[in-house]
Amino acid sequence: MAIHPIDYRYGSEEMKRIWEEENKLQKLLEVEAALARAHAKLGNIPEESARAISERANTKWVKVERVKEIEAEIHHDIMAVVKALSEVCGEHGKYVHLGATSNDIIDTANALLIKESLEIVLKDLRELRSILKNLAKEHKHTVCIGRTHGQHAVPTTYGMKFAIWLDEIQRHIDRIEEAKERILVGQMSGAVGTMASFGEKGLELQRLVMEDLGLKPARISNQIIQRDIYAELMGILALIASTLDKIALEIRNLQRTEILEVSEPFGKKQVGSSTMPHKRNPIRCEKVSGLARVIYSNVIPALLNNPLWHERDLTNSSVERVILPETFILLDEMLKSMKKVLSGLEFFPENIRRNLYLTKNLIMAEPLMLKLTEKGMGRQEAHELVRKLAMKAFKEGRDLLEVVRESEAMEYLTEDDLNSLKPENYIGLAPQIVDNVIAYIEEVERRERS
């Protein structure tokens, strides 16, 4: 019976398969097999035994049900895996798990699961990057009102919005690629990390196991891979979630009825409300923002898992059973939802223009002040004059430029000066800035392909 929504509502099958019981068991078995092969290479066990263990270290031979049955008797999860694998290896079973401690197997298997999961996250981030790059190109010159403190500020462009998100997504890709060196590590170091159980060839054995599995060996561990590594991973995943939350929040605000500049896609048969048939709710973006809160909350237990008693205790284990799959699966849902939203984003040009002119040119106060300064008025004096004129225009509900025409500002200005004060003329270097971001991203993409 499904209980957690990730069982039936959130996450792709591709991501969920990684964290299913059978695949997690498979990864544990792969580590045991790699350990046996390393022992054989070092002459610690017969090659025939390593081959037999490797052949049967998979879920065709070792069943989840059998492992659970053993665990119910002995109350130890990894020893249950060891016993189940030993059973199917016959006389060679005596070499299974030789010299290892439980977390040699668990933490190394976790690294394999994390590695697979990060590849899906990176794939989605790169696809999201492509969508944002195209939107930035398409809307490089789409002028809109910029808002600070929720108030109309000065004009910007939709290209700027998309390029800011695009640049941030690239930083997340960079963070993951850089952090892989620290995160994708395994260990084979014995009970408290000294490798005493492996003898003088312990370091070589660990190197062979990790080379076999495509991981880096930990430089040092006690009984576990140190959990600052997991905390860093969770921090990166939470940062990605925060960017998706940021994008979703902006779209939700811009989709508000009184603004309605853009909207997430709405299907022909989609229902917005059970009682209000007219509703077009931003449900995908709201879901993204909601799931981000769960991911944020998972960072705290990841940080708390780093300080443990002495060489280790078990308080991190139960937590990680929850937060690792949950965070990856929920982030997977968020990434795929955001790809759908942005690839089908609907624009309302007439509303974008309406909002740009909503304040009757009050948003031209800054360029007006700069124009007065250019014509010889002191900057502070110009600021105070324009402030007074703007407050007068606001109070009287009039166009700012109309009020300016009646003021002492005209001692410095011409009619051509006022006519030049249009929102579309005050976007600075926005197109060039967007082009710079796009050029950088395209160079990164070229390097990835080469």
Predicted confidence (pLDDT) per residue in 25-71, tens digit: 999 999 999 999 999 999 999 999 999 999 999 999 999 999 999 99
Q: Does 273 participate in catalysis according to the annotation?
A: yes
Question: Parallel, antiparallel, or unpaired for β 216-217 and 346-347?
Answer: unpaired
Assign 268 a pLDDT band (cuts: 50, 70, 90).
confident
The residue behind tokens 């974008």 is 352
Domain spans of the chain, in order of start: 21-98, 362-420
pLDDT tens, position by position, 297-324: 999 999 999 999 999 999 999 999 999 9
What is the per-residue pLDDT for 234? 98
Residue 354: pLDDT over 90: yes
Per-residue pLDDT band for 397 (boundaries 50, 70, 90) equals very high
| Residue 274 pLDDT > 80 | no
CATH class for the domain made up of 21-98? mainly alpha
Q: Is 152 a catalytic residue?
A: no
Q: Are strands 346-347 and 262-263 parallel, antiparallel or unpaired?
A: antiparallel
Per-residue pLDDT, 438 = 98
> Which secondary structure element, helix H or strand E, spans residue 217, and what is its range?
strand 216-217
Average pLDDT, the chain: 96
Confidence label for 124 from pLDDT (cuts 50, 70 and 90)? very high
pLDDT at 271 over 80: no
Active-site position among 4, 273, 297, 318: 273
DSSP string, 153-198: EEEEEHHHHHHHHHHHHHHHHHHHHHHHHHHSEE----TTSS-GGG
**Contacts by 305-314, CB closer than 8 A, 24 or more apart:** 305/227, 305/230, 305/231, 306/226, 306/227, 306/228, 306/230, 306/231, 308/224, 308/227, 311/192, 311/193, 311/222, 311/223, 312/103, 312/222, 312/223, 312/224
Catalytic residue among 149, 274, 278, 450: 149
The pair of three-digit structure tokens given for residue 62, joined into one six-digit string: 């070792």
pLDDT at 92: 97
2 pLDDT tier (thresholds 50, 70, 90): confident
Q: Is the pLDDT of residue 77 over 90?
A: yes
DSSP secondary structure letters along 342-353 = HHT-EE-HHHHH
CATH fold for domain 362-420:
Ribonucleotide Reductase Protein R1; domain 1 (1.10.40)
